[in-house]
Structure 1
Amino acid sequence: MSQYYKFKTALLAVSLLVSHSLAATWPWSSADSSAQIVFRDECKASHYTAYETYDKPIDFRTSPLDHFNGPKLNPMNRTAGEQWEFDGIGSDAKTGLVIGFYRDPNYAILGTGNFRVSLDILWENGTIYSQDHHVAHSVVEECNEQIIGTWSSPGVLYSFEVANDNRHAIIRVDTPTIKGSFEIESSAPARYPDGSIFPNEEGTTAAAPFFHWVQPIPTGKINVDLSIEGSPYVWTGLGGHERLWSAFSWFTVLEGMNVVRAEVGPYQLTYLAFTSHILTPGVTYPSVFLSKNGEPIFTATTGYVSKSENYVTLSKKYGGKVTGGLGDRSTGHVLNLVSPKTGKHWYFDFEHNAVSFEFALGEGSGGTGFAALATGGEIEGEKYHSVALVEQLLFPKDSPFFKSNYVE
């Protein structure tokens, strides 16, 4: 039995404890009557202002049948946080972007309030352009056909719209320095950490103890049309969308994580692995999903060689041309996906081509994203070539800024 399923039952009990004795009804709306926010009549709105938190038990949503992009915290407390993430890599692996929409009091030390939007952009010449905004309002509306999220302050507006079938997303940016939008058309079905496809009443959102993650758009085609300080930023390539939420800060529940997103020939591939820091410290929970022409063909949550279960292994490469500036000096990665029962074996090689974002957290820790060149396919079959998103994240063992906020 994989480590993934060993903590699943215990984690369900934890989720129930967080959500019991609800003192607030769904949807939650801010008591701030001064907010000039217009809600759509047909939608169910979740609206907060930047300093609101709730001191009683909250609704921490983990139902597998809830829409992936609906709010997971009702209302916000002082420990839990959630993120909507969208990213892309250009078809030449020379451009890329990642944007994160946060409802998270744990990032308040980085700015004013609990609502952060971070945007990192890789130019073709290797320059990284980054901007962060901490905004006054966050609204997420669950509508008949889509989920709409809006993070705003005077003069600053970020929004996302994701179709309820998870086939399409559009992100809009309107700030003094960046304007425009980008769209992602999905090429693979929305999925859970256990590899099952949405919707599935038996699926689970638990990725590691106290940490939840689902993948509304595992892979897709991205079209970017932005203007950055008046300069056009336009390209197409590989895109995707992640949804993450946790009962406590990432620094509390995780030691690190690895991410791979690729579309290579007929294959759509995503791999995420979370290394736990709490309850099961040092244990890594991998989740890999492979589809062919949009149809699932392989999943695994076992991260070591097995004679009976599907498994995936991740190994690092060294000696290449591009590495991050932190403690991890790898220049690429290799994924092996193996099914002992069918004898199938897929091999994918990723070589870093450019750093797409990086942040340091001290002691050589932090996060680095790469635009990568990808090669892969069946081990004895045709090999295909494309691009990939690769990310590696390691949290510091001790930090004067990011302390554990775990409470029982």
Structure 2
Amino acid sequence: MHLLHITTLLAVLAELSVSTTPQDINCVQHRARAGDFVDGPAKVSADPLVHFDSPMITVFNETVSENWSFDAASHDGKASIVLYLTRGTVASNIAAQRGLISIAWANGTRYMENAFVDTSTLTTCPKTTTGTWSNDAGNITWGFSASKDFKQSVVTIKSPTINGTFKLKSRGPPIYPGGLVYPDSRASVLLAPEMYWQEQFPVADAEVHLSIRGTPFDLYGVGGRDKNWNSRPWAAISGKWDMARAIAGPYGLMLWNYTSAVDGRPYFSATLTKGTKVIFRTANQESLCSETYGTVILAKNGPVHLSSAPDTKSPLPKSRHTGYLIDLVSPKTDEHWRFALDFSQTTFLVSC
């Protein structure tokens, strides 16, 4: 058995056009406006061969959404950041264009901001994909740029309250639910009913330099990024979920433990990398004689329970658990990895 202990806190009517600028003659651009949507169904793509940063929803109705997510924790687990760039219905705002950031400093101070803007633009070029969320006044821009080889990305924010960058350098290949590596026609982007998911960077080195209302936030640590899209809001389709990513020595771990509100069933995905190679993957949570499987136990004897910020008007109850004990087993190779993850800080706590 490999035993590893880690401290972590990671608990429209749209336009399609072709860019004709000389340097990006082969780029494809997709724009979406806040408040623009159609009545009736909107197509949600499930094509496993579409590039992971390309939009999977091109026409929005009152319920669909697509979300690019970025997260990181410092090496000591004391500071953290979560950032979302969303198109579509979110937080009861229909057909919104939103950036969300939540930060925890090492001293326990927290900051959260929602930026609802007017337009999002996704531009796919031969070597890069960029996404820009901006307002018509021109004084707020949230966006990302990512290499199409899934090696690196940078989020840049320019606004009256936040300025700076959030960089990620991947340490693993892009993966589907279940751990197959992109591109693979056998794979599925469906984690659970109505929950589509792609993991661009399962684990990555992170570097963050931001000014938050004049206060610096600097972080070096471990992070990653993923994308999910849904035909209905998270609160409608999700029962509960745990997501974890970690680096321990040469190993990288990416895990989803999800319960669907659509059918009430659990869904699971665990992938282990060593260097840049996937060495273990499973979607099984039951002990099997010949197939890989994994289990997640909620730990309750760690030092930190997740909690709302002290100044929250309606605080949520503290989490009953303090981390996770994760076991990954390969009967064929007689290998067993165990990861013990403890919470060390709350980045943000919200009720869906």
Q: Could you say which TM-score interval applies, normalised by the shorter chain?
A: 0.7 to 0.9
Residue in structure 2 matched with residue 148 of structure 1 by the alignment: 130
- Residue 144 of structure 2 contacts residue 156 of structure 2 at CA under 8 Å; is this kept in 1? yes
Residue in structure 1 matched with residue 334 of structure 2 by the alignment: 343
- Residue 113 of structure 1 contacts residue 136 of structure 1 at CA under 8 Å; is this kept in 2? no
Does 2:325 align with 1:334?
A: yes
2-structure distance, mates of 1:276, 1:113:
24
SS of aligned partner of 1:251: helix
Does 2:143 align with 1:159?
A: yes
- Report the CA distance between 1:175 and its aligned residue: 1.3
Residue in structure 1 matched with residue 312 of structure 2 by the alignment: none
Per the alignment, do residues 56 and 43 of structure 1 end up closer, same or farther by CA in structure 2, a change over 3 Å counting?
farther
2-structure distance, mates of 1:339, 1:267:
16
- Report the CA distance between 1:328 and its aligned residue: 3.0
Does 2:110 align with 1:128?
A: yes
SS of aligned partner of 1:160: strand
Residue in structure 2 matched with residue 79 of structure 1 by the alignment: 63
1-structure distance, mates of 2:92, 2:116:
9
- Residue 28 of structure 1 contacts residue 75 of structure 1 at CA under 8 Å; is this kept in 2? no
1-structure distance, mates of 2:186, 2:331:
25
Does 2:157 align with 1:173?
A: yes
1-structure distance, mates of 2:123, 2:83:
19
- Residue 210 of structure 1 contacts residue 253 of structure 1 at CA under 8 Å; is this kept in 2? yes
Superposed, 1:347-358 pairs within 5 Å as 347-358=338-349
Does 2:210 align with 1:226?
A: yes
- Residue 333 of structure 1 contacts residue 351 of structure 1 at CA under 8 Å; is this kept in 2? yes
Q: Percent identity?
A: 29
Residue in structure 2 matched with residue 404 of structure 1 by the alignment: none
Structure 1 window deviating more from structure 2 (307-316 vs 49-58): it is 49-58
| Greater fraction helix | 1
2:194 to 210, 225, 228: 210
Q: Of the two structures, which has the highest relative contact order with CA contacts closer than 8 Å and spacing of 6 or more?
A: 2
SS of aligned partner of 2:268: strand
Amino acid at match of 1:275: T
Structure 1 window deviating more from structure 2 (199-208 vs 53-62): it is 53-62
Superposed, 1:342-381 pairs within 5 Å as 342-359=333-350, 361=351
List alignment gaps of at least 5 residues for structure 2. 1-12, 18-22, 308-316
- Report the CA distance between 1:209 and its aligned residue: 0.8
1:246 to 221, 230, 234: 230
Alpha-carbon deviations, 1:208-260, whole Å to 9, x = none? 01110010000010111111222222221101001101111112211111101
2-structure distance, mates of 1:75, 1:147:
19
1-structure distance, mates of 2:269, 2:145:
26
SS of aligned partner of 1:252: helix
- Residue 212 of structure 1 contacts residue 244 of structure 1 at CA under 8 Å; is this kept in 2? yes
2-structure distance, mates of 1:73, 1:293:
33
SS of aligned partner of 2:216: strand
Amino acid at match of 1:284: P
Superposed, 1:2-401 pairs within 5 Å as 28=16, 41-109=25-93, 114-153=96-135, 154=137, 155-278=139-262, 280-281=263-264, 283-325=265-307, 326=317, 328-359=319-350, 361=351
Amino acid at match of 1:350: L
- Over the residues paired in the alignment, what is the CA RMSD in angstroms? 1.8
1-structure distance, mates of 2:225, 2:38:
29
1-structure distance, mates of 2:96, 2:259:
25
Compute the TM-score of the two structures, normalised by the length of structure 1.
Answer: 0.76
Alpha-carbon deviations, 1:28-69, whole Å to 9, x = none? 36xxxxxxxxx9654211101101112254332111110111
- Residue 333 of structure 1 contacts residue 350 of structure 1 at CA under 8 Å; is this kept in 2? yes
- Report the CA distance between 1:308 and its aligned residue: 2.6
2-structure distance, mates of 1:328, 1:227:
30
- Residue 306 of structure 2 contacts residue 345 of structure 2 at CA under 8 Å; is this kept in 1? no
- Report the CA distance between 1:348 and its aligned residue: 0.5
Aligned residues: 324
